[in-house]
Structure 1
């Protein structure tokens, strides 16, 4: 699973690696952005991870100044300003968020499982526990397939 996240990339996403999808952009500019936030100014970052990293640097550098200048709230307002306007900005209800998050989680799991499916017929980890060990029929999350009957 780790290899799928950081190593080979995702074929479904044009071979992009996780780091390129959610990684921090322009890290060399973080020190200046953190200083701007600590001075009560906008960070001038255009990415959410960058704003949050800059706010973290401001906190680590001078916690008292961070509180005095209300850096946390300023960073939050800056992040919220980065959210696109329109339907994506609409507030979802709790059931809508739960359904969306569940779908996203299942989709990610399916991508990872498909990318790293074990070789046919191999049902045990390299360490060698027997196939089906620990399987409790009917237990939540346990799905039985024909290979479990071996």
Structure 2
């Protein structure tokens, strides 16, 4: 009976760990305290003009939200983020184009580019074609 209880307890812990959602870090300073633990970093609406090259310290980062900032480019260090799957640059109206580094992020699966009215339909269509290996999100689903 004790063995069954121990097994059930271990199973419950495993299920609990599996179903937990990623903690969302919303402040750079907080995230930098333990960068290896950060999987979801939301720096939206922070009035960022640049993203620090120290972004490379977030080796387990999977989701990076940079929407509605004043970014014009992204640092080359993003290519070191082997686990990055989702990049959101929605509303970054000062970006004239998708930064070239985006193509080099090894495991990127999804690129969000909503709310950039300066980019006309032809430009959006060209981006979708150029980044056909990604799910490019241009409007709310």
TM-score normalised per structure 2: 0.29
Larger Rg: 1
Quick check: which one's helix share is greater?
1
TM-score by length of 1: 0.27
